[in-house]
Structure 1
Amino acid sequence: MKFLNKMERKFGRYAIRNLTWYIIVTYIIGFSLELLAPQILGYITLEPALIMRGQIWRLVSWVLVPPTDLGFFTIVMLFLYFSLGSELEHAWGAFRYNLYIFMGVFTSVIGAFILYFSGINILGYTFSTFYLNMSIFLAYAATYPNERLYVYFLIPIKIKWLGIIDAVFLLYAMVQGGWATRVVVLASLANFVLFFLMTRNMRRVSPREIRRKQNFQRQVRSNVPSAGVTKHKCAICGRTELDGEHLEFRFCSKCDGNYEYCQDHLFTHEHVHK
């Protein structure tokens, strides 16, 4: 957390404001290429083999690859992700939102190269911004779990439940798919795990902090009186706090020693002098 704060103070001024808008623009460009010049998409996909041959623009250009086919549902999703992304940037700040998005892009590239060096052949369209979109949705669900989203514009449901459904869908895809699918999902969503680990106070789960809490709880338990054991007792009448909730006890400052008296004998007893 401190490291992230230092990074924000040092590099925060370089953050791209309204980053979600630029993400939507990349989608528009990608869909336009798909409709007007689909052959160009073959030159911008994320393919490590071609990158190793000098086509380094593919390290970045793959974000233009459309995540799905263009349709009414896709347009609705774009409006939704624009709203969610803007809310996250407002809540986290531009720097942290930038870090989250670009971390997802970076880990996706790392995942592609892992598959390449593992000898697993992947299609050029394997990596797109589909899972990056899902990471935005999961981040919003983790940040605002009790916000309501209207499914089909009619059914209100807390967004945390939709996030859980998405997580189950991703686990199912990993179990049913091959190693390529697993690497793609893990690489694309690694930003979600890494970012929330970076923004949590990990000191709370350190062995030293856990040991300190255990010692404190042990001391608290040792100071709690068990049944029948009293903490106060009048030196004259022997009454304790168990004899009545209205009783009050005080120590006498004029007596030599630790003598405690109830409210009835505090001012009437004879002082003890040794």
Structure 2
Amino acid sequence: MENRFGRFAVPGLVAILATLQAAVWILLQLKPTFIVSLMLLPPLVWEGEIWRLVTWVFIPNSFTNPLWMVIAVYFMMIISGVMDRAWGAFRTNLYIFGGMLSMIIGAMVFGSLALGLMLYSSIFIAFCCLVPNYEIMLFFILPVKVKYLGMVNGAILLLQFISSSEMRGPIFFSMLNFLIAFGPGFIKSMKHKAVVAERRSRFESANQRDTPHFHKCHQCGKTDVDDPHLDFRVTEDGEEYCTVCRPRQQSAPVA
């Protein structure tokens, strides 16, 4: 797809969305009721107000606090540059537009809420998975690796999904693109870890079997390497038995 449609990709798409959010935030300070014209309301879309299929993405997460808006825009600028370098503009565009399409389908077909906050949460979690050890200055003071912020964000979404029936639709449809993009990789990684663990276990077992031992129980096969606390004795039949097997061997009837 990138070979055929890569020339249509928009570089810095996340930064563009952040800029448009800032512009809408300023507009809402002048006319707060304008937000109704931007929301994705399916009945009005079916009546012909098709711009709502896009404008809901520009609604800012914070309407009153300018500091939060500045921090959000600054952070989205960082995310934009990192994702474009890690994925390229086309794949970043595909991820964002795929998330938008998923949420639009959820709203228009299933009656789910289309919240820009949920879309940006999926973008942020993707960013955390791409560069988990990337450090940011939280509140411009505290250096924090983004993987920890991603874990916190994921935990909040999970709690909201469990506790609020109204948020299950937005969370599911907003994270669907994340599951499609990262799910196969996670499954492959888990399978690889399981194979590595199995190989390591077999290797360690082989090493234990090859380790020289001084005592070996004639009945159970345990050695002083397997269990250093075992006591071995040679009985009347000339064989060596451990402390566990020796009483049973001594109590066995003699033919």
Alignment of 1:69-108 (within 5 A): 69-70=63-64, 71-108=66-103
| 165-174 vs 53-62, greater mean Cα deviation | 53-62
Q: Which letter maps to 2:19?
A: V
Q: RMSD of the TM alignment (CA)?
A: 3.1
Partner of 2:121: 134
Q: State yes or no: 1:146 paired with 2:133.
A: yes
Aligned equivalents of 2:159, 2:198: Cα separation in 1: 42
Output one character per residue of 1:65-112: Cα deviation in whole Å (capped at 9) or x when no partner: 222214212211210111112111111100011011111111111221
SS of structure 1 residue aligned to 2:114? coil
Closer, same or farther: CA 213–12 of 1 in aligned 2, 3 Å: same
Aligned to 2:249: none
SS of residue paired to 1:150: strand
Alignment gaps of 5+ in structure 1: 1-6, 117-121, 229-274
Q: Which amino acid aligns with 1:99?
A: L
What percent of counterpart residues are identical? 28
Q: Secondary structure at the match of 1:146?
A: coil
- 1:177 maps to 164
Aligned to 1:45: 39
1:29, distance to aligned residue in structure 2 (A): 2.9
> For residue 78 of structure 1, what is the amino acid of its counterpart?
V
Output the amino acid matched with 2:12: N
Offset, 1:114: 4.0
1:160 aligns with 2:155: no
User: How far is 1:169 from its partner?
Assistant: 0.8
What per-residue deviation string (whole Å, max 9, x for no partner) do you get for residues 114-146 of structure 1? 432xxxxx7xxx523212222222112111111
1: distance between equivalents of 2:95 and 2:164?
Answer: 26
- 1:190 is the counterpart of 2:176: yes
* Deviation string, structure 1 residues 125-183 (Cα, Å, up to 9, x no partner): x52321222222211211111122222322222221111111111111112212x2111
For 1:149, what is the secondary structure of its paired residue?
strand
In structure 2, relative to structure 1, the CA distance for the partners of 1:203 and 1:51 (3 Å cut) is: same
Change in CA separation of 1:218 and 1:188 when aligned onto 2, cut-off 3 Å:
closer
Equivalent residues of 1:108, 1:184 under 8 A apart: yes
Task: State the partner residue of 2:232.
Answer: none
Aligned residue among 49, 54, 65 for 1:55: 49
Separation in structure 1 between the aligned mates of residue 196 and residue 143 of structure 2, nearest angstrom? 41
| CA distance 1:192–1:201, shift in 2 (3 Å) | closer
SS in 2 for 1:156: strand
- Is the 1:145–1:158 Cα contact (8 Å) retained in structure 2? yes
Q: In the superposition, relative to structure 1, how do residues 203 and 135 fare at CA in structure 2: closer, same or farther (>3 Å)?
A: closer
Residue 110 of structure 2: aligned partner:
115
Letter in structure 2 aligned against 1:155: L
Letter in 2 for 1:104: G
8 Å CA contact retained: 2:61, 2:117: yes
CA gap 1:197/1:12 in 2 versus in 1, 3 angstroms: farther
Determine the C-alpha separation between the residues in 2 that align with 1:93 and 1:30.
27
Tell me which of 8, 13, 19 is aligned to 2:7. Answer: 13
Partner of 1:234: none
Deviation at 1:203, TM superposition (A): 6.9
| Structure 2: stretches of 5+ with no match in the other structure | 213-255
Q: Specify whether residues 188 and 153 from structure 1 end up closer, same or farther in structure 2 by C-alpha distance, changes over 3 A only.
A: same
Deviations 1:28-73 (A, max 9, x none): 2321331223333222211112222222222122222222214212
2:136 maps to a residue whose letter is: L
